[in-house]
């Protein structure tokens, strides 16, 4: 399976969109999206300096536009999974078919402006904590009244909150952890962004969505979201909720992802993937930064993607939870066993009672992704069914 990843804020570089403007139709597309976002995307992506594109109000629509612009030149119908980091989830949701491109750009513009406004309400910031015991790091963050805004990988947790709290954390770091202040405008993905979440929710309520056409992972908990309306709610909630990119990468491993393409400006997310998913079975990676990288990306999709064909080809389907609770596999159903369409493979015990989980296709149960009494979230992968279509 191949995954396409959409990066978030901090990955931008001056001039990174310049080579993409040479492609037919790119300039016109960006002018249209600029009108929707309320910022000049062409200027920001080609002429603006690092300081100008660090502005949250400008950066967020710029990154979403870059991801979607590059993806237009890929055979996305052959891609099995998409995910994005922070604002990159808007781009990923568009690539999954949940949001129209115009809606993703418009929401990115609102999100960026409103988060910038929320940052101006009081002085806040963010600091990365590198290494250290995760439990001790989280306890240290809580001790100083801060919030764990990002958990990007093992040994990398980002604290956010008041400047006084961050100063106290730096003066008294958790054992074995290094604290590095980040050059950001405020405490993203914390309750300090509540005004921005409310403003985004007011606009998002009028957006028409569709259910994902491919697996779409959520930053909230790394689960695969199966309903478009739920994903839109998660996109709004994400403004104040922590980014759990560590759980998204765990899902990549659990789902057997064999190749990864990062959309421009590429490098940050694939760097984390290389660090976490290494050794035997590590995915093949392409960083898509300029149109010159498109042939390599298309080749990767051809070798690892879902190839359209009238002939039967091996496929894996993921069965996901439809509610939150604890999972119980069906008695007597083991890995390697045959599964019929509509067969109950287990149940999620919710507060309202058990909810049966069924397979929508015939095949072989190749792998349990959740086990007896494991806590599961809505959309979380439970099992992989291998078969032919």
Here the CATH number for the domain that contains residue 153 is 3.30.70.250
Q: Out of 136, 170, 187, pick the residue that ends a domain.
A: 187
CA dihedral 279, 284, 290, 293 (to 10 degrees): 140
| Same domain (yes/no): 16, 106 | yes
Predicted model pTM: 0.78
For residue 161, tell me if it sits in a domain.
yes
| Same domain (yes/no): 264, 365 | no
Q: At what angle do helices 194-204 and 228-237 cross, to 10 degrees?
A: 150
Q: Out of 187, 213, 241, pick the residue that ends a domain.
A: 187
Distances from the Cα of 242 to the Cα of 147, 219, 237, 270, 280, angstroms: 8, 8, 10, 20, 30
| Same domain (yes/no): 279, 340 | no
Mean pLDDT in order along the chain per 10 residues (389 residues) = 94 95 93 96 96 93 97 93 96 96 96 96 93 92 94 90 95 92 90 96 93 92 89 95 92 91 96 89 95 96 70 57 85 91 88 82 86 83 72
- Domain limits for position 252: 2-118+192-304
Residue in 189, 223, 304, 359 annotated catalytic: 189
**Alpha carbons 19 and 264: distance in angstroms, whole number:** 11
| Same domain (yes/no): 287, 201 | yes
Question: What per-residue confidence (pLDDT) applies to 279?
Answer: 82
Q: Out of 281, 304, 327, pick the residue that ends a domain.
A: 304
Question: What per-residue confidence (pLDDT) applies to 308?
Answer: 39
Q: Number of structural domains, the chain?
A: 3
Question: Diameter of the chain by CA atoms?
Answer: 63
86 is catalytic: yes
| Same domain (yes/no): 82, 208 | yes
| Same domain (yes/no): 57, 204 | yes
| Same domain (yes/no): 35, 97 | yes
| Rg (alpha carbons) of the chain, rounded to whole number | 21
| Same domain (yes/no): 152, 203 | no
| Same domain (yes/no): 150, 126 | yes
210 is catalytic: no
Question: What per-residue confidence (pLDDT) applies to 316?
Answer: 60
For residue 309, tell me if it sits in a domain.
no
CATH code, 100? 3.40.366.10
Question: What per-residue confidence (pLDDT) applies to 324?
Answer: 80
Residue in 6, 11, 34, 86 annotated catalytic: 86
Question: What per-residue confidence (pLDDT) applies to 388?
Answer: 45
Counting residues of the chain whose pLDDT is more than 90, the rounded percentage is 73
**Would you state the structure tokens that stand for residue 259, as one six-digit string?**
């190749």
CATH code, 352? 2.40.50.100
CA dihedral 189, 220, 110, 34 (to 10 degrees): 120
């Amino acid at each position: 399976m191949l995954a396409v990843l959409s990066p978030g804020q901090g990955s931008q570089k001056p001039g990174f969109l310049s080579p993409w403007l040479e492609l037919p139709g790119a300039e016109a597309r960006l002018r249209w999206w600029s009108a929707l976002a309320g910022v000049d995307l062409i200027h920001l992506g080609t002429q603006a300096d690092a300081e100008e594109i660090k502005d949250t109000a400008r950066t967020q629509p710029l990154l979403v536009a870059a991801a979607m612009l590059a993806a237009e030149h890929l055979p996305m119908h052959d891609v099995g999974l998409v995910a994005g980091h922070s604002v990159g989830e808007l781009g990923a949701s568009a690539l999954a078919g949940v949001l129209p491109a115009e809606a993703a750009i418009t929401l990115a513009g609102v999100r960026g402006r409103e988060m910038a406004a929320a940052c101006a309400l009081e002085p806040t910031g963010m600091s990365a904590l590198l290494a250290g015991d995760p439990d001790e790091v989280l306890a240290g963050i809580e001790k100083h009244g801060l919030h764990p805004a990002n958990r990007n990988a093992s040994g990398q947790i980002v604290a956010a909150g008041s400047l006084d709290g961050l100063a106290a954390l730096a003066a008294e770091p958790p054992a074995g952890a290094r604290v590095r202040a980040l050059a950001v405008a405020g405490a993203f993905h914390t309750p300090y962004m509540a005004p921005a979440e409310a403003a985004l929710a007011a606009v998002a309520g009028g957006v028409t969505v569709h259910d994902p056409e491919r697996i779409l992972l959520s930053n909230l908990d790394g689960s695969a979201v199966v309903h478009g309306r739920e994903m839109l709610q998660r996109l709004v909630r994400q403004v104040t909720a922590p980014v759990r990119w560590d759980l998204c990468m765990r899902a990549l491993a659990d789902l057997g992802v064999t190749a990864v393409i990062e959309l421009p400006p590429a490098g940050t997310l694939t760097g984390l993937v290389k660090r976490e998913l290494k050794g035997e079975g590590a995915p093949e990676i392409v960083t898509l930064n300029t149109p010159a990288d498109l042939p390599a990306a298309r080749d990767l999709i051809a070798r690892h993607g879902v190839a359209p064909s009238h002939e039967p080809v091996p496929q894996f389907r993921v069965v996901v939870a439809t509610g939150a609770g604890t999972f119980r596999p069906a008695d007597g159903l083991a890995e390697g066993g045959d599964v019929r369409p509509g067969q109950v493979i287990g149940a999620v015990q919710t507060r309202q009672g058990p909810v049966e989980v069924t397979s929508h296709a015939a095949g072989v149960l190749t792998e349990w992704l959740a086990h007896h009494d494991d806590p599961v979230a809505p959309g979380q992968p439970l099992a992989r069914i291998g078969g032919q279509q």
